[in-house]
Chain A
Amino acid sequence: MNFVALRMLVADRAKYFSLIFAIAFASFLLANQISIFIGIMTRPSSQIRDVVDADIWVMDPQTLYSDEVYALRDYDLYRVRSVPGVEWAVPLYKGTGRAKGEDGRFRTVILMGVDDATLVGAPRKMLVGSIYDLDQPDAAIIDKAGFLYFFPGEPLQAGKTLQMNERRVLIVGISDASAPFQSFPVLHTRYSQALGFVGRERNLLSFVLAKPAAGAPMGKVCERIEATTGLRARTTTQFSLDAFLFYFRNTGIPVNFGITVVIALIVGTVIPGQTFYIFTVENLKQFGALKAIGVTNRRIVGMILLQALVVGGSGYALGMGISAAFFARTLNYMPTRGIIFPWQVMLGIGVVVLLVVGLASLISIRRVLVLEPAVVFRG
């Protein structure tokens, strides 16, 4: 009878395609909005996640997230180093400055000053040059988006210069740094060099990056640092989450995306649900005839579920295909770089679609189950 169910389904092409497209549209909208939301909301922590050498971030106790920093005293670095369980600790500067290009165009940039000796915190994904080129005077590594902004149309190459604080900045490499929330260019330089690029500040030490000793539990080491120094110590994961939550609580982004997601859910539930219900109602005579000639309710429920699964599966596959094409197309586009289509979102939407078609088919099934087969004798 599966054959009969499928033929009944595809016979009314207008409804069949409207069902599929409604589910595809809803799936695409959900996938698109949720993925972009995740992409945007993880951007505030992109500079944190790019630092792969250290596991612990130590900061001023009042620091809420990575973009607003109250600098530490220089000796705080040594205090952290002295905490038992800390294998090593290095300084990191994170701040903003203004960079000016050769043609006069300027932008605020994110400046990361990494430890001179170890280069801990330097970008790991290099497109041009090497992090060791930071040894050169006035050297800095710029991210690809920044390079393309300051030098549009030019091939990626080292040797270009910028100006910061009336100082020359020599571009010695181009990194593939993760996109920051504000889309500012990201510059990496040596800690000692950063001072010259941003101007005189009494304290420059934004963070102390630390590595726990082998076998020392990260959480315990953080607790120990906090107890010993009075500073705040967070693991990379915790600090990334802090950034996410700060933007989640203090911006309208979740509300904006949330509204779209809710609308997509409503549209994605109501339209396919209603269309599927109408489709079933229009076939009630046929279902009645099938019941009269001896098709069991279980079989008919199976037929309706199969129809629902086919339209749900087709719509979902189409929606995911469009979403995948969308993100493949925008992945290398500078403003949307790094915004991907996570497999977890794909899986989650699959569950949502399953619930939607399940709900739609339940209403239809109920209508068919209560149908008196004797209805077929009423002209």
Chain B
Amino acid sequence: MATDEIAVLCRSVTKVFGRGDTQVHALRGIDLEIRFGELTMLVGPSGSGKTTLLSVITGLLDASSGELVVLGRRPANLSQEELILFRRETLGFVFQQFNLIPALTAAENVAVPMMAAGVKRQQAVACGEEFLGTLGMAHRAHALPSELSGGEQQRVALARALVHQPKLVVCDEPTSALDGRTGHAVMELLSATAVRPDRAVIIVTHDSRIFEFADQIAHMDDGRITALEENRKNGPLTKSTPVYEAAPAQPDLGASQMIGG
């Protein structure tokens, strides 16, 4: 596969929390490729390392070792300022609990990433309103989050993640706070609006009802990817060789072995 098709490349990525006896190996040698134009799901039980992997990919946490390339950049090589700028310009976030600012209207919440980038408030809010319109939420643009249903809040969160045209959209359990029907509707919207040839989407979930929307599913357990599934569009999911069984267990690499470049 051509490297310019790969949005995220993980090679033997590990993440260790704590020191000595209190060490926790959250990621134990992750190998994963996430392609542009695809929706990748990280699935697995609680504590399997899904959210840690998402945090490492988005630069919110540093990898302890391994090689990580995100949108052609290596987060380990970026300064804090560069990392913040990188996240602001190229990443879109959808959180489990929406994390909308309660004091702002839907349109203002959508406008936050643009305001953070220095766009004037009126212009950013107008843009937010317009973008909400494309998600069928124009009539709720001036409502506060507390006045919106869970599904509507997640749509606003989705709009906030997409409004600045990011290259990579990461979603943390986007349907877990929603009922099945609403979750499905949100996923349909996400699939229709977020997935584009020049963008990759990563979703962390353990909601099996939405697996059908995935192009690729990485099953995780105990900090490892245990299996990768490819979903050929318009066809059933095909399970690939379980990675965990095929690959030898990854040694715990120290910070000194961390590959930065």
Contact = CB atoms under 8 A, between A and B. Distances in A.
Interface of A: 1, 3-4, 7-8, 10-11, 285-286, 288-290, 292-296, 299, 372-374, 376-379
| A1, A8, A289, A299 — most chain B CB neighbours (10 Å) | A289
A206 to B, nearest CB: 69
Contacts of B97: 285, 379
Contact of B103 (A1, A10, A296, A374): A10
Interface residues of B, number: 35
A379 B51 CA distance: 10
B102 interface: yes
Given A292-B60, A373-B60, A7 B104 contact: yes
Interface stretch (B64-72, B113-121, B135-143): B113-121
Interface of B: 51, 54-55, 58, 60-61, 81, 84-89, 91, 93, 95-97, 99, 101-104, 108, 112-113, 115-117, 121, 160, 172-173, 176, 204
A296 B101 contact: no
Given A293-B93, A377-B55, A4 B99 contact: no
Nearest to B116: A295
B58 A292 contact: yes
A376 B99 contact: yes
B145 to A, nearest CB: 11
Contact of A11 (B91, B96, B102): B102
A1 B115 contact: yes
Contacts of B51: 374, 377-378
| B60, B91, B176 — most chain A CB neighbours (10 Å) | B60
B172 A293 contact: no
B227 to A, nearest CB: 23
B44 to A, nearest CB: 14
Contact of B108 (A7, A289, A292): A7
A296 B160 CA distance: 18
A377 B116 contact: no
Contacts of B104: 4, 7
Given A1-B116, A3-B115, A372-B60, A292 B96 contact: no
B172 A377 contact: yes
Given A3-B121, A379-B173, A292 B93 contact: yes
B96 A290 contact: no
Given A1-B116, A294-B84, A295-B116, A286 B101 contact: yes
A379 to B, nearest CB: 5
- The A interface is mostly helix, strand or loop, or mixed, namely helix
Contacts of B102: 11, 286
A159 B1 CA distance: 114
B103 A7 contact: yes
A379 B96 contact: yes
Given A294-B87, A377-B51, A289 B61 contact: no
A315 to B, nearest CB: 20
A3 B160 CA distance: 17
A293 B88 contact: yes
A3 B101 CA distance: 12
Kindly list the 3 A-B residue pairs having the minimum CB-CB distance in the complex, ordered from nearest. Answer: A294-B88, A11-B103, A289-B99
A289 B93 contact: yes
B87 A8 contact: no
A292 B115 contact: no
| B81, B84, B88, B104 — most chain A CB neighbours (10 Å) | B84
A286 B99 contact: yes
19 contacts: A1-B115, A3-B115, A4-B108, A4-B112, A7-B108, A8-B101, A8-B103, A285-B99, A286-B101, A292-B60, A293-B160, A294-B89, A295-B88, A299-B116, A373-B60, A374-B55, A376-B95, A377-B55, A379-B173
Nearest to A286: B101
Contacts of B61: 372, 374
Given A374-B60, A376-B93, A296 B55 contact: no
Contacts of A286: 99, 101-102
Contacts of A292: 58, 60, 87, 93
A378 B58 CA distance: 15
B259 to A, nearest CB: 21
Contact of B96 (A7, A10, A377): A377
A8 B87 CA distance: 23
A372 B62 CA distance: 11
B75 to A, nearest CB: 13
| A3, A11, A288, A294 — most chain B CB neighbours (10 Å) | A294
Contacts of B86: 294
A290 B93 contact: no
Nearest to A378: B51
Given A292-B87, A374-B60, A4 B96 contact: no
Contacts of A288: 99
Contacts of A10: 103
A4 B107 CA distance: 12
Given A293-B87, A294-B84, A377 B103 contact: no
Contacts of A299: 116
Contacts of A11: 102-103
A11 B146 CA distance: 12
Contact of A4 (B60, B88, B115, B160): B115
Contacts of B172: 376-377
Contacts of B81: 296
A296 B82 CA distance: 10
Given A294-B117, A377-B54, 14 more contacts: A3-B115, A4-B101, A7-B108, A10-B103, A11-B103, A292-B60, A293-B88, A294-B87, A295-B88, A299-B116, A372-B60, A376-B95, A378-B51, A379-B96
